[in-house]
């Protein structure tokens, strides 16, 4: 178990060393998330008046019911979505890399990976409280989609192509890509058709030619 955990930590270190922009992107998303957070103090005070401090079950129910959950603002939601996406991509990549590295050398790795997936589904009280207080949650399905995306990319183009995606933030998959993880990198980017491109190019060349002829007519003796 310890060796498996160490492999995962090593994969995290490798990723952050390769993607030098990733640490700053995470910090920036966390800061934006915090700046967008709004807490309704009056609402919390009103609810607290009806609670019995000596009743831990009532306090736990209040936490689970979102009593202290901050109000969601558009800025907070955008930062939250970006942060959850980055975390899902990171954990999915680590799952994929460790799974590949241990496929033939660690027979127990598959069982350990399944244990970790189940642990993500059955969150503990501390994780539930964190989710209620902050509103940030890593969805297990999103992590599986991210791992499937990285694995499919490796199968098609190799591990180097998979890892090269982390070379720039603009290359990383989006939430829409996680909705179709097996299709990432297989679709041509949308743009104008060949005929439309040829027409636009002809128009541009014609305009340039017209400008050049106009200049020559206005300066007939410029070459003499």
pLDDT digits (tens, 9 = 90+) for 9-60: 999 999 999 999 999 999 998 888 877 776 666 766 766 776 777 777 777 7
Structure confidence by residue, pLDDT tens digits, 138-197: 677 888 899 999 999 999 999 999 999 999 999 999 999 999 998 887 765 454 445 545
Q: Quick check: 121 pLDDT over 90?
A: no
Q: Quick check: 120 pLDDT over 80?
A: no
Q: Nearest 5°: CA angle at 73, between 45 and 44?
A: 5
Q: Quick check: 76 pLDDT over 60?
A: yes
Structure confidence by residue, pLDDT tens digits, 86-105: 999 999 999 899 888 887 77
CA–CA separation, 184 and 75 (whole Å):
28
Give the CA dihedral 107, 124, 72, 48, nearest 10 degrees. Answer: -170
Q: Quick check: 124 pLDDT over 70?
A: no
Question: What is the pLDDT, as a whole number, of residue 56?
Answer: 77
Question: What is the pLDDT, as a whole number, of residue 222?
Answer: 47
pTM confidence score: 0.67
Q: Quick check: 206 pLDDT over 80?
A: no
Tokens matching residue 85: 């996406």
**Listed range (28-32, 72-76, 137-141, 216-220) with the worst mean pLDDT:** 216-220
Length of the chain measured in residues:
224
Question: What is the pLDDT, as a whole number, of residue 193?
Answer: 47
Question: What is the pLDDT, as a whole number, of residue 44?
Answer: 67
3 state SS of 38: strand
Q: Nearest 5°: CA angle at 61, between 59 and 62?
A: 65
Among 14, 35, 32, CA closest to 84:
32
CA–CA separation, 153 and 87 (whole Å):
19
For helices 74-102 and 22-35, the axis angle rounded to 10 degrees is: 150
Among 82, 106, 92, CA closest to 30:
82
**Listed range (111-125, 127-141, 194-208) with the worst mean pLDDT:** 194-208
Among 143, 138, 152, CA closest to 91:
143
Among 17, 28, 145, CA closest to 83:
28
Instruction: Write down the domain spans for the chain.
Output: 2-37+73-183, 191-224
Question: What is the pLDDT, as a whole number, of residue 122?
Answer: 62
């Amino acid at each position: 178990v310890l060796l498996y955990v160490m492999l995962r930590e090593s994969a995290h270190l490798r990723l952050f060393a390769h993607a030098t922009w990733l640490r700053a992107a995470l910090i920036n998303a966390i800061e934006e998330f915090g700046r967008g957070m709004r807490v309704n103090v009056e609402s919390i005070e009103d609810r607290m008046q009806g609670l019995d401090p000596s009743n831990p079950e009532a306090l736990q129910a209040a936490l689970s019911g979102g009593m202290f959950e901050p109000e969601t603002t558009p800025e907070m939601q955008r930062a939250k979505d970006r942060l959850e996406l980055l975390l899902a991509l990171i954990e999915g990549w680590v799952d994929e890399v460790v799974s590949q590295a241990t496929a033939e050398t660690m027979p127990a790795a598959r069982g350990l990976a399944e244990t970790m997936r189940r642990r993500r589904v059955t969150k503990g009280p501390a994780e539930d409280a964190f989710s209620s207080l902050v509103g940030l949650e890593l969805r297990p399905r999103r992590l599986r989609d991210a791992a499937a995306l990285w694995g499919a990319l490796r199968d098609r183009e190799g591990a180097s192509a998979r890892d090269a995606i982390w070379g720039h933030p603009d290359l990383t998959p989006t939430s829409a890509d996680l909705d179709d993880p097996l299709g990432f990198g297989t679709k041509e980017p949308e743009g104008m058709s060949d005929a439309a491109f040829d027409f636009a190019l002809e128009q541009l060349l014609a305009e340039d030619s017209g400008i050049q002829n106009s200049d020559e007519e206005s300066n007939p003796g410029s070459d003499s």
